[in-house]
A = this chain, B = another copy of it.
Amino acid sequence: MPEPIDFYFDFSSPYSYVAAHRIEALAQRHIRAVSWRPILLGPAMQISGNRPLVDQAMKGEYATRDVPRLCRLYGIPFAWPTPFPVATLAAMRGFTWLNEQNPDQAIAFAKAVFHAYFADGRAIADAAVTTAVAGETGIDPDAFAAAITDPTIKARTKDAVDASIKRGVFGVPFVFVDEEPFWGVDRLPLVDEWLARGGW
């Protein structure tokens, strides 16, 4: 049985938002599952020395134009949120908790968070807002709110981030197909090719 495709993302990453809209159809074409893996990009950026795109002269201006252009092409609802970027700890911890019990529900939650932030401009850095988003997907908000402050969940979230860095995830979106790494939403066509050919 082939392994799932590992899809690393950060809830605050616009290119991850685009990838989240395309990764499942891509995987399905090759009869593969997707393992959704949110991370916190901050720690990886400290190691690689990268700064958030929007903080970089010239490159930030390009991204401001580029993301909406991609979303228009793919028919993905998008509006630049304010503030941007934000800390995504609540969403990541919530996902970690959900994923242990019900991965499909975790994925539905992840999509709802992405939509809340990048389509509706909601303040997902606010734990109360992220809890409300969880509630809207059918999750018990009280259980969610308790989980995201649970020390065990916090520790597992930290472990997940550390593991992603050990694996080489320096940016998002990042995809592994059978240990072969692909960075960036622009590489999804190459992921498609790798899956079709079984590598080269």
Contacts and interface: CB of A to CB of B under 8 A. Distances in A.
Contacts of A7: none
Interface residues of A, number: 31
A170 B63 CA distance: 12
A190 B190 CA distance: 14
A84 interface: no
A73 B171 contact: no
A75 to B, nearest CB: 10
Nearest to A63: B183
Given A56-B50, A65-B181, A200 B168 contact: no
Interface of A: 44, 47-51, 56-59, 61-62, 65-66, 69-70, 72-73, 165, 168, 170-171, 181, 183-184, 186-187, 189-190, 193, 200
